[in-house]
């Protein structure tokens, strides 16, 4: 689950706001304008004043266009940010071309866009911008307008000095880029780790609070369920000889559902408890047996539940985890509840992955719910088949949250989406484990599980 949280916080962690770039460019443009005006009128240097301000105006126009087109809170993609920084490098190169090239002491400002890229963009973008800056610096070392000076209007510095400035730009770009990226990456990793930890702690806190509620609910519901069972038996005794087939069927269904509720409450109260033999509420089962155990209670509910099992090599085995079973059963109940006629369960395994996919032919998840699915108090889908139009309300949205948390505790990743294949519709839930994680607590292959019904073959060794 920590890995999933890490992936969640990674992409958006780099993206900078457009407002940050706009403000930094206004600051740079103010400095460039002050330098040109100061040199022209304060020092009396003979600069190509009009051309210089034309280059500066190009950045001003871009800033105004970005400010009008996008809101201040807009966050740039990596490519967009790299293009803006590349424009800044080219604009600075244009100014330096008009004012002496690398002989201009402001040529070290080539480092600024690369430094910003190193702190906010991936290394590939920073490398590309660094190569652009060094390439333009090389061009300016060879081709540029003369540096304005007091006496005759120009001065030529030795090429050795210009080569030293070029070397300083090259080394400065490489060193500051790597150093800034390393420091910023460590900061990002720490921020992602803290954010992921806060997310996990928040989810664990929600679940621990629900543990007490589950125990209290199991205790409080025991008495009314017992009363319902007594009344059902009494009605069956009184109406049995004269009851119509429809009433007899309803009474039988009522008793079956009460027994099922009692079984669920028994599981809730027995999770984590030890048996007399010292074993926990876990057993070793094959992947196929686990799927069949999930499907068995759903086969009499009027919805076709089809199971497809296929894999490479031996079928994986695992320790029967009550929390995982409860979470998967919750998801399957949801699929059966909203399906129109059919639910498909696909069990797949390879040498690296174990995947369980549950899909139905119902209305699917609303797009706005998919964004927050799995958070507490967010209901997944509006009920259709099982609720009448005049019935209001729904669940509290805790079922999927509990299921997601319990399943991800086992090291799985849970993905919710809608079916997009042509001619099909419905919801799709995919649970994926790394195979070594799925089998990590299983009994060693040379031992035979006590609940295994697979007969021995000639190659199998019977335990002594």
pLDDT tens string for the chain (464 positions)? 434 444 444 444 456 778 888 888 888 888 888 888 888 887 777 778 888 889 889 889 988 988 888 877 788 888 888 898 889 889 888 888 888 888 788 888 888 888 888 888 888 888 888 899 888 888 888 887 877 765 555 566 777 888 888 888 888 888 888 888 888 777 777 676 666 666 666 666 666 666 666 666 776 777 788 888 888 888 877 877 777 888 888 888 888 888 888 777 776 666 545 444 444 444 678 888 888 888 888 876 678 888 999 988 888 888 878 778 888 988 888 888 888 888 999 999 998 999 999 999 888 887 766 776 666 656 655 444 444 433 333 444 567 777 887 888 888 888 888 888 877 888 899 999 999 888 886 644 444 444 444 444 444 443 33
- pLDDT at position 193: 65
> What is the 8-class DSSP label of residue 430?
E
Distance CA 312, CA 250 (A): 45
- pLDDT at position 222: 75
Measured CA to CA in angstroms, residue 418 lies from 167, 337, 361 at distances of 56, 16, 10
Distance CA 219, CA 191 (A): 42
For every residue of 131-161, DSSP letters joined together read HHHHHHHHHHHHS-PPBP-SSSS-B---HHH
Neighbours of 91 (CB within 10 A): 20
339, burial (CB in 10 Å: exposed 0-12, middle 13-18, buried 19+): buried
Select from 237, 299, 283, 229 the least CA-distant residue to 259. 229
- pLDDT at position 396: 40
Instruction: Report the relative pairing of strands 427-434 and 353-360 from DSSP bridges.
Output: antiparallel
Distance CA 265, CA 296 (A): 18
Measured CA to CA in angstroms, residue 43 lies from 40, 103, 148, 358 at distances of 6, 17, 11, 76
Interior CA angle at 116 toward 113 and 121, to 5°? 110
- pLDDT at position 278: 42
- pLDDT at position 123: 85
Measured CA to CA in angstroms, residue 46 lies from 37, 154, 202 at distances of 11, 9, 65
Cβ atoms of residues 426 and 364 within 8 Å:
yes
Tokens of 287: 């992947």
């Amino acid at each position: 689950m920590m890995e999933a949280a890490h992936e969640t916080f990674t992409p958006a962690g780099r993206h900078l706001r457009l407002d940050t770039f706009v403000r930094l460019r206004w600051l740079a443009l103010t400095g460039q304008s002050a330098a040109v005006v100061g040199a022209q009128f304060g020092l009396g240097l003979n600069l190509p004043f009009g051309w210089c301000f034309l280059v500066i105006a190009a950045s001003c126009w871009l800033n105004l266009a970005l400010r009008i087109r996008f809101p201040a809170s807009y966050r740039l993609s990596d490519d967009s940010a790299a293009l803006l920084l590349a424009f800044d490098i080219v604009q600075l190169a244009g100014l330096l071309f008009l004012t002496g090239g690398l002989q201009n002491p402001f040529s070290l400002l080539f480092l600024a866009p690369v430094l910003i890229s190193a702190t906010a963009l991936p290394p590939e973008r920073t490398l590309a911008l660094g190569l652009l800056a060094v390439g333009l610096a090389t061009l300016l070392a060879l081709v540029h307008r003369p540096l304005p000076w007091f006496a005759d209007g120009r001065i030529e510095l030795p090429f050795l000095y210009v080569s030293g400035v070029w070397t300083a730009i090259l080394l400065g770009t490489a060193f500051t880029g790597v150093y800034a990226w390393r420091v910023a990456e460590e900061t990002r990793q720490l921020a992602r780790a803290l954010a992921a930890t806060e997310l996990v702690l928040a989810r664990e806190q929600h679940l621990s609070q629900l543990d007490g509620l589950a125990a209290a609910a199991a205790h409080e519901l025991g008495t009314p369920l017992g009363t319902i069972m007594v009344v059902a038996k009494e009605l069956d005794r009184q109406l049995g000889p004269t009851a119509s087939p429809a009433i007899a069927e309803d009474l039988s269904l009522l008793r079956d559902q009460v027994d099922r509720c009692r079984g669920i409450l028994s599981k809730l109260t027995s999770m984590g408890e030890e048996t007399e033999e010292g074993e926990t509420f876990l057993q070793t089962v094959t992947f196929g047996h686990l799927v069949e155990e999930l499907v068995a209670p759903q086969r009499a509910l009027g919805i076709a539940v089809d199971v497809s099992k296929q894999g490479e090599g031996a079928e994986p085995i695992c320790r029967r985890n009550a929390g995982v079973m409860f979470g998967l059963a919750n998801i399957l109940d949801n699929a059966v509840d909203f399906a129109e006629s059919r639910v498909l369960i696909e069990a797949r395994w390879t040498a690296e992955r174990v995947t369980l996919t549950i899909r139905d032919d119902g209305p699917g998840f609303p797009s706005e719910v998919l964004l927050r699915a799995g958070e507490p108090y967010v209901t997944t889908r509006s009920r259709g088949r099982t609720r009448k139009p005049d019935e209001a309300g729904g669940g509290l949205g805790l079922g999927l949250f509990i299921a997601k948390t319990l399943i991800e505790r086992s090291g799985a990743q849970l993905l919710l989406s809608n079916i997009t294949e042509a001619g099909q519709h419905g919801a799709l839930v995919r649970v994926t484990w790394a195979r070594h994680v799925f089998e990590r607590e299983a009994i060693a292959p040379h031992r035979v599980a006590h609940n295994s019904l697979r007969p021995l073959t000639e190659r199998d060794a019977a335990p002594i």
